[in-house]
Chains A and B, each alone.
Chain A
Amino acid sequence: MITSIRRILIGQKVIPICTIILGILFIITMLAPLIAPNDPIAVNLAYKLQPPSWEFPLGTDHLGRCNLSRLLFGGRISLGFAMLIFISSLTIGLIIGTFSGYKGGWVDQVLMRFCDGVMAFPSLILILGLVGIFGPGLQQVILALMLVQWVYYARMFRGMVLSLKEQNFIAAAKISGSSQWKIIKNHIIPNVLPPLVVMGTLEMGWAIMDISAMSFLGLGVQPPTPEWGAMIHEGKSYIRTNPELMLYPGLMIMLVIVTFNLLGEALSERYGVKRRS
């Protein structure tokens, strides 16, 4: 039995299955305003802590809000902002890393020593320090995450540019008269893409974990806005009577992170990319 589980988990089908799961999750959370059965922040104390019913498919929380609607809207924040952090830190990292690697010299030295400095510290401590100074709030958390994450991309892109500069096939393409655009499109992008996809997939998982951890601590999303980490934070007082209040959002976080990690691992195996541990 174990081998058959293994075949499903690690085998060839992982990449499409994970992509489909994430695609579905992404679509239903983005469509939350259209498909959510109720208003996620409408307080109705008469309906508090209701069991599942047709009106509230997953029951209600301590303020009578629909759990399912809150889960859907919460995913919008987690997935949406994880995407935003990924894209923006990637862009900053791409610009600075490529520039640094291309330019070389003292510019490269200064930029890379700065990156080393940031990487010398555990990233969550830097993020917490920044949030501590800027004050609690979702915007501050996002900003802090971006300020820390771009460094890793910058290093990656710099390394790629440096190694690609040396490659014979780039030189050969140049000599044979390929245009700059053609070199980038046919030679650079195909080389840069696999590690980027792997890193991005794993990064999304981490970003979701970080955002929800911050919200759980009360530093990120502020009530009444629904977010998975914040929902666990609110549900924890009802652990004795209504454990499902913190069970549902936790399961969602886990589902998303497990899927991202599985996908990242399968991709890195497929393309032979080493993971950053």
Chain B
Amino acid sequence: MGTFIIKRIMSIIPVFLLAALLTTGMIHLSPVDPAEAYLTAAHIEPTDEILAQKRHEFGLDQPFFMQYVNTIKKICQLDFGISYVSNKPVWDEVIHRIPATLQLALGSLFLAVLVSVPLGFFAGVKKNSAIDHFSRLLSFFGASIPSFWLGYILIFFFSVKMDLFPVEGIGTWQHLVLPSVTLALPLIAMYTRLLRTSILENLQEPYVLFARTRGIKEKTIMAKHILRIAISPMITGLGMNLGKLLTGTIIVETVFSWPGFGRYFIEAIFNRDIPIIQCYVLVAASLFILSNLMVDLIQMYIDPRISRKEGQQR
């Protein structure tokens, strides 16, 4: 089990190196010269001399491999360069926007788990009951509604018509309700569906039959045996969908004027503030990689069969 953990942790290194390579290569794909973009953003008249100086400052006159090595070095020191627009270090700008995004993401994740675990569980256990039909309808429409539109529909009904929640901004718990619901609905759709399918599959397994023949109460089998195994694909889904959650925050933050990292990233795209764009892609990729790692470790803890299987293979 120990070696499996170490191997799994080592396996994220190449992915991380690839992410760094992509962000370094990105600048060279850009139709706009970063030095020029910087000068435009800072309202400085570009002359050949200043351009050359800036290019040297950014390290763009070095060979690509050296740029790559420098990028990795800087990333390890959390140095993402200086924002072209505000002229402050990118990391300082980003770090005080991350808590707002985290609040939103965790809020909706909590909501999604809170709704989808009981819903998916009962839908699977009582197949073709009313609750099952409801869950299927919800997971179908939840996956088909564009979240930017859903956000405005919620604003229209709950803020404009009923005046229950504020339209935009951050602060009290009321501010958190509509954005979290908007962000959570696609997740609820997906997790409910995953858990339902997984429970239906597990009901066919021999261990359920065995538990029944041993005379264990149906309720105990459902709650203690099936749920524990059936929840495993949902945890994988949780990790796999962190990316969806991240991109979801971009849209939801824009709809509800939520002062988070996602909205800052969109502003950066409009301002062609390249260091911030790079920083976002890297942070998002790292979060994604780390969450996948965590999911694997949690899964190993829940379902010991995984690490044993891995051990036999190697």
Contact = CB atoms under 8 A, between A and B. Distances in A.
Contact of A135 (B32, B190, B281): B32
Interface string A7-30: 000000000000000000000000
Contact of A257 (B32, B144, B160, B242): B144
Contacts, number: 127
Contact of A122 (B18, B143, B243): B243
B244 A122 contact: yes
Interface string B1-35: 00000000000000100110011001101111000
A138 B94 CA distance: 28
Given A2-B130, A135-B272, A261-B143, A120 B18 contact: yes
Nearest to A124: B247
A236 B152 contact: yes
Given A122-B243, A136-B270, A239-B156, A254 B29 contact: no
Contacts of B255: 236
Interface string A233-262: 000100110010010011001100110011
A131 interface: yes
Contacts of A218: 266, 270
A135 B33 CA distance: 12
B238 interface: no
B166 interface: no
B144 A217 contact: no
B145 to A, nearest CB: 6
A132 B160 contact: no
Interface in B105-162: 130, 133, 140-141, 143-149, 152-153, 155-156, 160
A67 to B, nearest CB: 16
Nearest to A205: B144
Given A131-B269, A134-B30, A239 B146 contact: no
A266 to B, nearest CB: 12
Contact of B18 (A117, A213, A239, A240): A117
Contacts of A130: 29
Interface stretch (B203-211, B221-229, B282-290): B282-290
Interface string B237-251: 100101110110011
Contacts of B272: 135
A277 B155 CA distance: 30
A246 B143 contact: no
Contacts of A254: 144-146, 149
A218 B26 CA distance: 21
B230 interface: no
B141 A232 contact: no
A71 interface: no
A120 B156 CA distance: 38
Contacts of A216: 146, 148, 251, 254
Interface residues of A, number: 43
A229 B254 CA distance: 14
Q: Is the interface of B mostly helix, strand, loop or mixed?
A: helix
A121 to B, nearest CB: 5
Interface string B263-301: 001101110101001001100110011000000000000
Given A258-B141, A258-B144, A261-B143, A121 B27 contact: no
Given A253-B146, A257-B144, A129 B246 contact: no
Contacts of B143: 261
A14 B156 CA distance: 33
Contacts of B280: 129, 132
A277 B133 contact: no
B251 A125 contact: no
Interface string B29-45: 11110000000000000
B31 A135 contact: yes
B281 A261 contact: no
B194 interface: yes
A96 interface: no
Nearest to A114: B18
A125 to B, nearest CB: 5
A257 B140 CA distance: 11
Contacts of A100: none
A83 B170 CA distance: 39
B248 to A, nearest CB: 9
Given A132-B281, A133-B26, 7 more contacts: A120-B15, A120-B288, A132-B268, A213-B148, A213-B251, A257-B144, A261-B140
Interface of B: 15, 18-19, 22-23, 26-27, 29-32, 130, 133, 140-141, 143-149, 152-153, 155-156, 160, 190, 194, 237, 240, 242-244, 246-247, 250-251, 254-255, 265-266, 268-270, 272, 274, 277, 280-281, 284-285, 288-289
24 contacts: A6-B133, A120-B18, A120-B289, A121-B243, A122-B247, A122-B288, A124-B244, A128-B281, A129-B280, A132-B281, A134-B30, A134-B31, A135-B31, A209-B146, A216-B146, A216-B254, A217-B266, A218-B266, A219-B269, A232-B149, A232-B152, A243-B160, A250-B149, A257-B144
